[in-house]
Structure 1
């Protein structure tokens, strides 16, 4: 039986990006190591200059942490399994988020539509 993650599994929100120091809800500054390419889900730094993806916004969480928490892919409280996310999940360039393998659309609760 799989248990659902709880709020205690999540790390507290960080008010500013640890690299470019923008606040929650603000676009990362060009050259930020934390920002993601919203077309691929991978690190934006060094991605193709021809990519016309929108700017990534700082949410207060490390990229992919929310999906790891949602999928139950945690190594321990506050420790998302980002390696599993990057090797197992699929990036949805329309929703700008990772999805479980085989899921094309999810609700906010993570249940398949």
Structure 2
């Protein structure tokens, strides 16, 4: 996953441990962790078919999955409260760089190639 933004007055502080499996920042989530994401889809990893999906294992970043993108896009309900519902219904997951992108044309500075972002 991408590195989360540095904490500032507008971003929540990094949590040193995953709230579910308690791994430290930079460590791989346990298989049974509710927080871990499938890096092929961006969705919750728990319960997906490990036999057919050979996605790399997700690491705890210090922020809830998708929170960094919500902060970047300005999709917040209020301080420290990212709008993850909007992210999941509006943004597009990129399985190569393992992050969400806002809808609309992406430039080469946003991604490796120019792609029209579409809601999932």
Q: TM-score scaled to structure 2, two decimals?
A: 0.81
Runs of at least 5 residues in structure 2 that lack an aligned partner in the other structure: 1-6, 115-120
Residue correspondences, number: 105
77-86 or 98-107: bigger deviation? 98-107
Q: Which runs of 5+ in 1 are unaligned?
A: 1-5
- For 2:56, which of 24, 34, 54 is the aligned residue? 54
Q: Which residue of 2 aligns with 1:91?
A: 93
Spell out the pairing of 1:1-113 with structure 2 (5 A cutoff). Answer: 7-49=8-50, 50-104=52-106, 107=109
Structure 1 segments, 4+ long, off by >3 Å, are 103-108
> Partner of 2:118 in structure 1?
none
**Secondary structure of the corresponding residue to residue 20 of structure 2:** coil
Checking the alignment, whether the CA contact within 8 Å between 1:8 and 1:77 is kept in structure 2 is no
Distance 2:11 2:78 in 1: 9
3-state SS of 1:68 partner: helix
* Superposition CA RMSD, Å: 2.0
Please state how far the C-alpha of 1:7 moved relative to its aligned partner. Answer: 2.7
Find the counterpart in structure 2 of residue 3 from structure 1. Answer: none
